[in-house]
Chain A
């Protein structure tokens, strides 16, 4: 469903992604793991249409989309849940969720989508009238994911959903991601928390300083004793 070929992305003179290639299959959870600064967020921003790459190709359902903007990608069913959540902190939970359907408001039934999100995260229903900024970190992350789901996406890009959350909350959120995958949504999951991500993933890639170090089945990577050194060791002395 998604194929990234020889992708290059830079910020001015700083090259953040070098010749990255990988593909994601329909219905799988694909993890991108790597240390801070490895280029994970940059890769997601390029796929979601926020950044335009300097070279290479991104094929979505066999169509080149590397030149497309966010609006186009959202219309096509690709949604990014960004790093640091980026919810609308001074707006109500329900409003946050409803805004996720912005590009699709004419095609879908917003209330139906809202119910689906509440089914996944029942706690949000009890808080729908609260101002999002007053929620706990875990609840805010649920709002961010829920908002992403409101457009009924086929490909969901999640950037470090576990960042700053307690282990129990992380477990809860990852459990819902597995449920979500069963409904047919394809997920690209970016994580520094490699073990947690690999547990729910089908396949994964290790990103080191803008390059792919390894791609394998998640269980193989999970058992790899050197995984941690592989990406942390090389990133520290950058």
Chain B
């Protein structure tokens, strides 16, 4: 395997991890909750879009409906299980609840879709494109492209709109946001909806390359979590970088050592980063809160 190929594979997987990690940090920064059901949004995105396509919907309609449905599920999840915990100080409780929600979603998915892995045809052509010394499939380009478009969308929304500014304010200082009259509960609900939409998009674009299975969410949650922690859990840009770092680490590991080390690498990276740089690879932008 050559270095160009390793990097391209890393970018493709990294895009998926980046999308899941962005979902993590958006929820974490607005609510303080580590949402271990994050990967389930991606699983649901993949499963639901395949069902729509099987029903005969075209890809675009299927994708839009899927994103809306997953955002709805997430909003419901927030209202029924997360909002009632708003006065809970114990973060272990909320982590247990999100893990429990993940298990519930997995269980329901098993009932609906069964255990078999479901395929989806690539969005466009089958023939790989050769690029430098590497080859890349159309679907990989779709994955990298969606990640790029989403990053741009998030950037514009957060940085260029008043609403995005209020959203960042909640991520920055919840108490002060309340004093401004910002409803932090509404923002938290929107954070869940937005993260779910991003997660579902990741599932939709990755479905043609991985096969979708009802139980793929947990591992995706963990990978996304590792990527988010690599980035330091501070914000969307850091999470995206964390996602790419993890993707490239994995592809270097599988390309040069063995493909059996894929998951091992992610967790080894997590442990090492926790030991030597708990604030993430980007370090802490330590702005003193006087």
Contacts and interface: CB of A to CB of B under 8 A. Distances in A.
B135 interface: no
B101 to A, nearest CB: 29
B183 interface: yes
B176 A88 contact: yes
Contact of B165 (A74, A95, A140): A95
14 contacts: A70-B179, A74-B180, A80-B179, A85-B290, A87-B173, A95-B169, A99-B177, A100-B180, A102-B166, A103-B181, A133-B289, A140-B290, A151-B181, A164-B290
A182 B288 CA distance: 35
B181 A70 contact: yes
Closest 10 CB pairs of A and B: A133-B287, A103-B181, A74-B181, A86-B176, A88-B172, A71-B181, A102-B180, A89-B287, A99-B169, A99-B180
Given A70-B181, A89-B289, A137-B290, A98 B165 contact: yes
A2 to B, nearest CB: 18
Nearest to B286: A133
B54 interface: no
Interface in B139-194: 162, 165-166, 168-169, 172-173, 175-183
B285 A75 contact: no
Contact of A105 (B162, B168, B177, B178): B162
Contact of B181 (A82, A86, A95, A102): A102
Contacts, number: 71
Nearest to B235: A90
B181 A131 contact: no
Contact of B287 (A98, A105, A134): A134
Contact of B179 (A48, A75, A89, A95): A48
A151 B180 CA distance: 9
A50 interface: yes
A91 interface: yes
Contacts of B169: 88, 91, 95, 99
Interface of A: 48, 50, 70-71, 74-75, 79-80, 82, 84-91, 95, 98-100, 102-103, 105, 131, 133-134, 137, 140, 147, 151, 164
Contacts of A88: 168-169, 172-173, 176
Nearest to B178: A70
User: Quick one: which of A75, A95, A103 has the most chain B CB within 10 A?
Assistant: A95
Contacts of A133: 287-289
A137 B290 CA distance: 8
Contacts of B178: 50, 70
Given A87-B173, A102-B181, A131-B287, 9 more contacts: A70-B181, A74-B179, A82-B175, A88-B168, A89-B287, A98-B165, A103-B181, A105-B162, A137-B290
A103 B180 CA distance: 7
B166 A99 contact: yes
Contacts of B290: 84-85, 137, 140, 164
A108 B165 CA distance: 18
A75 B182 CA distance: 11
B172 A89 contact: yes
Nearest to A136: B290
A71 B181 CA distance: 4
A151 B285 CA distance: 30
Contacts of B181: 70-71, 74-75, 102-103, 151
B176 A50 contact: no
Contact of B168 (A91, A140, A151): A91
A141 to B, nearest CB: 10
B233 to A, nearest CB: 14
Interface string B103-132: 000000000000000000000000000000
A74 to B, nearest CB: 4
